[in-house]
Structure 1
Amino acid sequence: MSKIPQYILKSKKTNSLQQLINEALYILDKLGIPLEGITLRRRERIGMAFLAVSNVKQSTDWKNISGSHALRTRDIIRYWNNHFDENISDSSYDDIRRKDLKFPVLAKIINSSSANKNAAKNDGTRSYALNPEYIDLIKKFSDLNWEKEVENFLSNRETLKEQLSTVCARYSMGNRSLDCTITRTYNSF
């Protein structure tokens, strides 16, 4: 497997925690989550949200993930506070859904579900879990040929990065004035 890039710099986290968050962001990047144009802190939060939903607290946990672990946004905040040296108020729960889980949910890497099928997006019973289609692939993260397995897995799927590129290309061809940076697109969903 390739060397893990440093997606978060200037973090106050311990080296091992930074490495873990970088692993999470590497997985998301390889699965087609666009990380360009996103602040370092937002990247860190996206990585931690993915780790919480995956129930990964250390690098050796990737092989143990399962689809039975589901968290509500307030549970994710508690997970961060307990395992990732955060001190985030429970009242920040809406940012988790609107900002930190947005891309992984849009990419269908993380599923959003609610006790009520017709519930609003901000329903208190809504929880987030890994999409079962991705679990076996993510479990193999430390394998030497993991990148090749990702390539094979994605060969018949359109990633979120590709979908957003298509949207930007369509606007560009229509001679519309649109800044298609990921940050701009990120805020439009």
Structure 2
Amino acid sequence: MLLRLTSKVISAVLLGGCLLAGPLYAAESASSLGGAEQDRYLAELKRLYLTQDERQALLAHSNDLLKTYALSAAYQVGQAQRQDLRYQLRLGGPGELLLREEIRSAEGADVAVRNQRIALFGVDPYIRYDCPTSGISCVLFSPADGSPLLSIVRDHKGAAELAKALSFLIRNLQKG
């Protein structure tokens, strides 16, 4: 009887330890983006884009991701007004990012262009995104006010990678 009780206590302690280890590991991996993970990520981007400038590598990577995951009319089967959404990022003044949005109708006849200045000083550099299960797109939100900033095709990995690259770019631009 004592042996059975002891084994139950040991099992409970081990189970409790395993349950606590999961959140601790997740918190540890989320905070690791600031150190060695960040250095590895930036070194890989500089190697990929053949530059020694972190800012240029992050900007080129972000623009490549925007092209890769662009929400085109071909993805919008069954939608009433299908259109291509294209985005491009450029550097503005100190602590400023310029976002160009191009909306083209499915027939290609109508084109609307909107330019937006995003002031980055004093904002949270982490980009949030949402990929609703009922939709065809993922939305990335503005770090300034949380409003929708841009839409890409519904791809969780693509949205996560773009959010990561934009977050690092914002942090870099906030340095001045």
TM class by smaller structure: under 0.3
**Max Rg structure:** 2
The structure carrying a bigger helix percent of its residues is: 1
Larger fraction in strand: 2
TM-score computed with the length of structure 1 as normaliser: 0.26
Please give the TM-score of this superposition, normalised by the length of structure 2: 0.27
User: Which protein, 1 or 2, shows the higher relative CO under an 8 Å CA cutoff with sep ≥ 6?
Assistant: 1
